[in-house]
Structure 1
């Protein structure tokens, strides 16, 4: 069975390999952030995960002050911080969240814990799986999607997750990070219940 044992094995293989292979880059980014921002290079934030359980998510800090509401266009974010966000390198420390079993490589992106009381029963289905570093919404528009569209992609993932889907999402994630045009996973591939996206 791929879920959950096989998925956990895949997560650990990718996360541990990533931490080892990317450790030099990890050190370089940490040092540069220390020099440029003169603050702790790591940003920690409470997010909701599997079954709504709250955990601490780790990211590289892309801004100079501890304000979680900042966006890329705000002046407090350095040029290097903008680069980290555009390239998604700010997400690298979440590999440690994967090793700890709080996240998966692929799954719905974890949202702030204060949003928990706001979900309806359908939206809350996203908490039936571990949150991910990348996911179906991230390879189908990412920040161009509305909140409703993101939730629908999250639910489609929960309803259809499989080894082949995870691998395809991973490949599309890599392709989108190194390519000039974003590729996506067509909605026609899904076999689950009807969605507003279909």
Structure 2
């Protein structure tokens, strides 16, 4: 069977485009990267970068890198305070403008991520996906994705994961370009961004009658 244009794009063109665009973006945005890194160091301290293990394509684990947006404030028992408390005004600005995501350009350059794809979620969520939802890991995770331009953090888990699967099934050059343009517009308008405490992400588990506790 002759491969479709979409499969050719997915298998050969998409990765080459990711590499070239991420390299170009790093070169163009290098002054902003340096300025943000300096401000994070001054306002939030060290380390400047936040690194966390996330599942990539075929569920291979990689270290996703972002600019730090929260302090390390802890309670009297030494436990970290809720995300919403540790998130500073400066950190909120980084998130609302998506500037905290810029270091992920290096993940894209390396090949761990793509410019457009399902956002990489926490490793501990892997065992809770349905077989259909696992399709989201058949492609590289993205800096932005279809779910991010259609509600971002405001979507419920079922809708968010279903949108990820929809993207994987419909991957095309035109769709990626549309998502890139919509992402830039939303970042410029600072739309669709909410502060999410990690504990709220347990909703995925609660809805399915399971527990995240090991």
Calculate the TM-score normalised by the size of structure 1. 0.86
Q: Which residue of 2 aligns with 1:125?
A: 135
Cα distance in 1 for residues equivalent to 2:97 and 2:128: 30
| Residue aligned with 1:108, SS | coil
Distance of aligned partners of 1:99 and 1:70 in 2 relative to their CA distance in 1, 3 Å threshold: farther
Calculate the TM-score normalised by the size of structure 2. 0.80
Q: Which residue of 1 aligns with 2:16?
A: 9
Q: Which residue of 2 aligns with 1:60?
A: 67
Cα distance in 1 for residues equivalent to 2:18 and 2:81: 30
Per-residue CA deviations over 1:15-50 (Å, capped at 9, x if unaligned) read 001100111010111111111112111000000010
Residue 160 of structure 1 and its aligned partner are, at CA, apart by 0.3
Q: Which residue of 2 aligns with 1:190?
A: none
Distance of aligned partners of 1:48 and 1:180 in 2 relative to their CA distance in 1, 3 Å threshold: closer
Runs of 5+ in structure 1 lacking a partner? Answer: 183-198
Q: Pairwise mapping of residues 1-198 of structure 1 onto structure 2 (< 5 A)? A: 1-65=8-72, 70-71=82-83, 73-74=84-85, 76-179=86-189
More helix by share: 2
Distance of aligned partners of 1:13 and 1:140 in 2 relative to their CA distance in 1, 3 Å threshold: same
Greater relative contact order (Cα < 8 A, sep 6+): 2
| Residue aligned with 1:126, SS | helix
RMSD over aligned CA atoms reads: 1.7
Cα distance in 2 for residues equivalent to 1:127 and 1:36: 36
Distance of aligned partners of 1:179 and 1:165 in 2 relative to their CA distance in 1, 3 Å threshold: same
Residues 119, 144 of structure 2: 8 Å contact kept: yes
Residue 177 of structure 1 and its aligned partner are, at CA, apart by 1.4
Q: Which has the larger radius of gyration?
A: 2
Aligned residues: 180
Residue 90 of structure 1 and its aligned partner are, at CA, apart by 0.5
Residue 61 of structure 1 and its aligned partner are, at CA, apart by 0.3
